[in-house]
Amino acid sequence: MRTLVFIVIVYVVFQIIFLSSSQCARLSSNDDNLIEKTCKQTPNYNLCVSSLKSDPKSATADVTGLALIMVKVLNTTATRTLIHINSLLHHSPSPKIKKALLSCADMYYNGIITADVPVSIEALTKGDPKFADDSTLDAAKEATLCEEGFSGNSPLTVDNTNVNNVARVTEAIVKLLL
């Protein structure tokens, strides 16, 4: 039994080492060049590069693949913001803040997460980037509208800015496909 456990452990360690090195081997200077060339055409180069390089699929992705990765980053960022909104709602905010938070929750859930992101993914997958362009622009606008709903006293400024920035980077990459 101990021999079997040892063999399994050795196998798993070997797989981890082998897979890690093969992933590194795939990231060649050509892949870095595509990411860098693409990100230089966005409004936030550093955000673009760090977001794309955090996903191993970017190593072999074309521009459409990079756009899809950014849409997934947008979805993650919007989902984190929605979680933060729900957390703030559970802390009994004032009626004015609660109203703005509920409006933001609606924009994030019904606008970005269940509409803009799926439309963008479908459009990019089907080779019709115009709809992805419209949806990513819409996501940025919804983050801005959420922020404006607080009349200057927003507890979501950082979150809304992050979503807006990711949406703008995503939109810029999608525009390269038009």
Q: What is the pLDDT of residues 110-166, one digit of tens each?
A: 999 999 999 999 999 999 999 999 999 999 999 999 999 998 889 999 999 999 999
pLDDT digits (tens, 9 = 90+) for 47-62: 999 999 999 999 999 9
Q: Which amino acid is at 169?
A: V
Percent of the chain whose pLDDT exceeds 70: 83
Q: Which is more confident, 42 or 31?
A: 42
What value does the mean pLDDT of the chain take?
A: 87
- The secondary structure of residue 114, as a DSSP letter, is I
Q: Classify residue 108 by burial, with Cβ atoms within 10 Å: 0-12, 13-18, 19+.
A: buried
The half-sphere exposure of 114 on its side-chain side, counting CA atoms within 13 A, is: 7
The residue assigned the tokens 């870095």 is 32
On the question of pLDDT at 45 being above 70, the answer is yes
Please name the helix (run of DSSP H) or strand (run of DSSP E) that holds residue 41, with its range, or none: none
Distances (CA, A) of 126 to 34, 68, 143, 168, 170: 22, 12, 26, 21, 17
